[in-house]
Amino acid sequence: MTTSSAAATVGPTASGVDVGTGPVPAAWSMPAETAPHACTWMAWPGTGYTLGATAADADQARTTWAAVAHAVAEHEPVHMLVPPHELAEARRRLGGAVVLHEAPLDDAWYRDVGPTFVLGADGLGAVNWVFNGWGQQGWASWELDARASEVATTVSDAVRVDSALVNEGGGIHADGAGTFLLTETVQLDPLRNPGWTRADVEVELARTVGLRHAVWLPRGLTRDGERFGTKGHVDIVATFTEPGRVLLHDQRDPQHPDHRVTQELRAVLEAAVDADGRPLEVTPLPAPYVLRDAEGWVDYSYVNHYVANGAVVSCAFGDPADAEAADILRAAYPGREVVQLDSRPLFARGGGIHCITQQQPTG
């Protein structure tokens, strides 16, 4: 299939630069992840650190990505971008459960390189952010990933909504009613958006995804702020379960540097309100008991789950806290099955289940 988009582009950027040729449509809004999905989009690991350096590494990556895809496909259709040289392997592991789309890729984090889907008077829209390797990280390559959002935009027949904001899907969370969680170290990163202010970001998010009110968190988790991280994605820290209710990663062990971080974030969230002026109700979601791996302090997080139709596909870590986290998620998402998958191979590569999935809402 082609990776070029024939969809119309619309709208100016927050800085006033015209990025589109079509008329500005009625306001777009990003539904909550809990809203009904038409399908889920993913990308298959095919090269570099994501696939790994050895045959065992590659098998582990393919097995883990396939497990997530199969878990989601039990509840809704799944579309997978696959590099050409991995098509046979992806077909073997995924069978007919997943629709495959041949596309060149640098990486496999489609939450970040894919579009953010929105709804509006013109139907389905797909916001195509600028992607520059999580703020021009020296270890990242992004020439191919910078165009990967075109695949889902075209196949979904969405109106293309271009933005000059350097942003990733893992850098925002929406309650579906106009309130967004953002992180200063992501949207205001000078290697992402030099010269942009909070106001600039909020104006652009109002135009593209329907932001009415932003709750700015000062940073993300410790490891995610280190060399091989995203510089603070919110989808590993906090998420909305419904308007006014937030789950927050809670590192309870004072030995871990995230103990202080999550205390700071909780204070910010408990002082915040949503777009309708309601205080946020914050529920702690415990971090696993394990504190370190071979690389240092872990950022294992149950917050990095994916809400599919009728299910919550959640990270597990072979940890005593897995069961407690599952109980909290069942209470937070009543009526949905909680499916836990070992996500240590994902976190060893820099992300989690939410990072490799992207919802396309029904609309």
Contact 82/88 with Cβ under 8 angstroms? Answer: no
| Burial status of residue 122 (CB atoms within 10 A of its CB: 0-12, 13-18, 19 or more) | middle
Contact 184/218 with Cβ under 8 angstroms? Answer: yes
d(CA 82, CA 264): 40
- Strand-pairing partners, residue 360, are 39
Indicate the SS3 state at residue 289: coil
- Strand-pairing partners, residue 40, are 78, 359
d(CA 147, CA 158): 16
Order across the sheet with 311-316: list the strands.
306-308, 311-316, 337-342
The pair of three-digit structure tokens given for residue 131, joined into one six-digit string: 């992607």
What's phi and psi for 245, nearest 5 deg? -125, 130
- Strand-pairing partners, residue 10, are 22
Q: Does an H or E element contain 209, and which?
A: helix 198-209
Order across the sheet with 173-174: list the strands.
173-174, 179-183, 213-217
Q: Quick one: angle between helices 55-73 and 87-94, nearest 10?
A: 50
End-to-end CA distance of the chain: 24
d(CA 354, CA 111): 7
The pair of three-digit structure tokens given for residue 284, joined into one six-digit string: 């702690």
Catalytic residue among 355, 357, 358, 361: 355
Indicate the SS3 state at residue 288: coil
The pair of three-digit structure tokens given for residue 265, joined into one six-digit string: 């974030």
Instruction: Verify whether residue 315 is a known catalytic residue.
Output: no
Let me know how many helices (H) and strands (E) the chain has, helices first: 11, 18
- Nearest C-alpha neighbor of 102 from the set 125, 79, 118: 79
Active site residues: 355
